[in-house]
Amino acid sequence: MKNKVVIPREVAESPCSTDEIRAAAERLRDVVVYTPLLNSPALDARLDARVFVKAENLQRIGAFKFRGAYNFLSRLSPAKRGRGVVAYSSGNHAQGVAYAAHLLGIAATIVMPEDAPKVKLEGARRWGAAIRPYDRKTESREAIAQELASATGATLVRPFDDPDIIAGQGTVGLELAAQLEEAGHSADLLLVPCGGGGLLAGVSTAMRELSPETRIFGVEPENYDDHRRSLKAGRRVRIKGDSFTRCDALAATIPGEITWSVNRRNVNGFITVSEAEVGTAIGFAARHLKTVLEPGGAVALAAILHEKLPARGKTIAIVASGGNIDNALFTACLRDYSS
């Protein structure tokens, strides 16, 4: 019976716990950026609210994805480390895996779309990852990655639907809860960008335990509202996903199985924002928060700026999940932005 794995009932039911997140935080302690909470008197005055922005664009590789990737990779056995890792990603998970692999001395191959933002392609290459480009219209990144993994014995690092990835991302929530408490605040609302749902699953797990009174919302681009539809339908809904979005980091077409099992219990609702609203948020962040956000990283700020939820008098925490934006798109957002 030595090798039988017994899964305790509560773990089987909840693939993510705050204790797992705390363990991830321990693993990450010496390599992660404990990102600051930004705020802006101009923003607070405009909304008549207190808004705190967890600036994960200031995380290693410019996005929260490093947390989950490092947590996952650091748990691999020496034998598995020796056979390398494979990942697929539009860019931030790619960079997270590449940089974590660099730190841990693991070979990494990343399957990335040919049209990924240049800053993300460069970021992944900088840390020595091999890039396998693919055509988003004709090829399946999952299939390519699975094939590479099978051929080489490399471990596949899923972008969100994995307990270790979710626990790593959840450390954002641990820090946020501690920072708010230290500042003497309690969040009425929390808004988190949502693509595959990994960040939301981790953060909502930590916040549900540490700040149970906070209402939690996922934010999606309006063309990629699979979570909103899934919540309404009471089951995971796949959308077509052939619409345009500048939020490349959030262009998932169906909630993850594991992430959904967490999010459907933790989250109070989903909100969508338009491409134009996201552009305004990027301009606002540069002007008033002096910080650089990518479209996918700016959706929660966009939601609150455009008052998708009643904000007045409330204490609001939002996660700004990444800042990897090409200069052409960034300058377009800055040009369109006024006041």
Binding-site ranges for its own copies (CB under 8 A): 36, 38, 41-42, 45, 57-58, 60, 62, 99, 119, 122, 126, 283, 286-287, 289-293, 323, 327, 330-331, 334-335, 337, 339
Which of residues 197 and 297 has its CB atom nearest to its own copies in the complex? 297
Which of residues 124 and 252 has its CB atom nearest to its own copies in the complex? 124
**Tokens matching residue 327:** 């200069």
Which of residues 126 and 238 has its CB atom nearest to its own copies in the complex? 126
Distance, in Å, from the CA atom of 258 to the CA atom of 8, rounded to the nearest integer, reads 17
The torsion of the CA quartet 156, 157, 160, 164, rounded to 10 degrees, works out to 120
| Residue matched to tokens 């946020």 | 176
For the question of residue 321 being annotated catalytic, the response is yes
Contact assessment for residue 230 and residue 200, using Cβ atoms and an 8 Å cutoff: no
Distance, in Å, from the CA atom of 223 to the CA atom of 232, rounded to the nearest integer, reads 16
- 125: exposed, middle or buried (C-beta count within 10 Å: 0-12, 13-18, 19+)? middle
CB of 119 to its own copies, least distance (A): 7
Helix (H) or strand (E) holding 38: strand 37-38
- Cβ neighbours of residue 212 closer than 8 Å, sequence gap 6 or more: none
| Residue matched to tokens 């204490």 | 315
Which of residues 128 and 269 has its CB atom nearest to its own copies in the complex? 128
CB of 34 to its own copies, least distance (A): 9
Q: Nearest Cα to 298, choosing from 122, 57, 89, 52?
A: 57
CB of 336 to its own copies, least distance (A): 9
CB of 19 to its own copies, least distance (A): 27
- 230: exposed, middle or buried (C-beta count within 10 Å: 0-12, 13-18, 19+)? buried
| DSSP code, position 30 | T
Contact assessment for residue 191 and residue 316, using Cβ atoms and an 8 Å cutoff: yes
Which of residues 143 and 183 has its CB atom nearest to its own copies in the complex? 183
Catalytic position from the list 40, 54, 65, 261: 65
Which of residues 57 and 155 has its CB atom nearest to its own copies in the complex? 57
| DSSP code, position 75 | T
CB of 68 to its own copies, least distance (A): 18
For the question of residue 65 being annotated catalytic, the response is yes
CB atoms within 10 A of CB 285: 28
Catalytic position from the list 89, 211, 230, 321: 321
* Amino acid identity for residue 221 in this structure: P
Which of residues 42 and 276 has its CB atom nearest to its own copies in the complex? 42
CB of 102 to its own copies, least distance (A): 9
Contact assessment for residue 71 and residue 94, using Cβ atoms and an 8 Å cutoff: no
CB of 42 to its own copies, least distance (A): 6
Query: Reduced to 3 states, what is the DSSP secondary structure of residue 134?
Result: strand
Helix (H) or strand (E) holding 53: strand 50-55
- Catalytic residue numbers, as ranges: 65, 321
